[in-house]
Amino acid sequence: MRVVILSSSLYSETACAMAAGMAEAGHVPVGALSLRTLNYQTLVRKIGQWGIANAARYARRKLIGSNTAPAALHNPYLAPFLTNRGRLLKNLRVVGRLYEFPVGTCSNQNSSRAISQLRQWSPDAIVFAGGNILRQGVLVLPKLGVINIHLGFLPEIRGMSSPEWSLLQGVPVGITIHYMDSGIDTGRILLRREFPDTALCRSLEDLRNRLIAFGVRQLIEVLSDLDRSTISPHPQSQLDQDNQFFVMHERLRVVAAERLTASPTPAVGAEVA
């Protein structure tokens, strides 16, 4: 199966982990297309998701990372994917050289230039690891569709800050792997899976980092199932109300953090189901 990765940055740890994990599982990407390191639209979206202070740290890390090797991973749970023979796979170009697939950059993933490059790679599926809001020209290009990892259950939790809103709404924390369409988190579902380690997380950042790594592992399974034709997407169920959530106020974020840390912590040595 021919798979392309779209990334918000050459230094996206999530995109690098996806590419390396896919390659190790026998699904070497046929290409990866990244936005240039610090993209305005990505930064605006991060401000909405994380707040100004955290988005500023993100921007600073990207700017520093473009010139020097990072001393440590921002998301330590991605280390199994991003460490190869003792060295850190610090960007997509390094991953591409290791697994022998091309990596390109663009200013907009919906541009005619980007679409032309994607057509040359002729993907069966595109894996979305961040970037622009995708338009129909990209969404309809791959034979199967564009695949996204959503850090919450769909359709219960759509939109931004999904782990936090899950905690506030009393919805189990989990991930949904789905095809993207023209709506916001409304596409057909390939997999929904509850996250088993919520009780181990001691902060919202820790929860998000663990969820991302969990989602990458599930994505690799889904790609294997698609390659074997043992999985089929299904439409999202209809809810009585629209559960699309937006930017979370800092006070609500504090409440979500309190609910997270109030979860019972498993005893040392206990197995988490």
By the 10 Å C-beta count (0-12 exposed, 13-18 middle, 19+ buried), 169 is classed as: middle
Give dist(CA 95, CA 118) in Å, integer: 19
The alpha-carbon radius of gyration of the chain (Å, integer) is: 18
pLDDT tens-digit readout, 108-152: 999 999 999 999 999 999 999 999 999 999 999 999 999 999 999
Amino acid occupying residue 175: I
pLDDT tens-digit readout, 182-198: 999 999 999 999 999 99
Mean pLDDT across 59-76? 66
**CATH architecture for residues 144-266:** 3-Layer(aba) Sandwich (3.40)
**The dihedral sign for the CA sequence 14, 48, 126, 101:** negative
pLDDT tens-digit readout, 151-173: 999 999 999 999 999 999 999 99
Give me the residue spans of the domains in the chain. 1-139, 144-266
